[in-house]
Amino acid sequence: MADSSFDIVSKVDHQEAENALNQARKEVEQRYDFKGTDASIAWSGEQILIKANSEERAKAVLDVFQSKLIKRGISLKSLDTGEPFASGKEFRIVSSLKDGISSENAKKISKIIRDEGPKGVKSQIQGDELRVQSKSRDDLQAVIALLKGSDLEVDLQFVNYR
């Protein structure tokens, strides 16, 4: 019998992220506590730019955006947020969405599978994703459970299970 396999990926649904950003923008425009603070959130190329007249207001806008991402099913592990910084009279926060698994995270995941996973399970790095193979489907299920339980700083999805 041929080996069973699945792929480990880290992808963000950009349409859902766009919708979350639009919802956050509308809420910031309408909420009373943001009136007169020049608070805004918008795309700036591939990054998300948050502006406000104080550091606290900028963090509050970020909090609104994070809550919208969670409601849309996007993990906060996929959001890479910088520190607030002053730019003239306003404070800015630059964030970006992480897509794909970095090579160092792929190596960490591969090491976890090798060290703690069932014997006979092979993993190989293919660009920004990992392929995991085994003769036993039960071993693959055990690997998925192991990775869901481990504390990694990347949001993982398991696809192409066959």
Series of mean pLDDT values for 10-residue runs along the chain (162 residues) = 80 91 93 87 89 91 94 90 88 90 88 87 87 88 87 84 82
User: Considering only CA atoms, which of 80, 83, 84 is closest in space to residue 105?
Assistant: 80
User: CB-based contacts of 100: which residues, under 8 Å, 6+ apart?
Assistant: 9, 10, 11, 127, 128, 129
Q: Is residue 10 helix, strand or coil?
A: coil
pTM equals: 0.83
Give the pLDDT of residue 2.
61
User: CB-based contacts of 152: which residues, under 8 Å, 6+ apart?
Assistant: 77, 105, 108, 109
Give the pLDDT of residue 160.
85
Q: Cα–Cα distance between 151 and 100 in angstroms, integer?
A: 17
Residue recorded with tokens 């339980």: 149
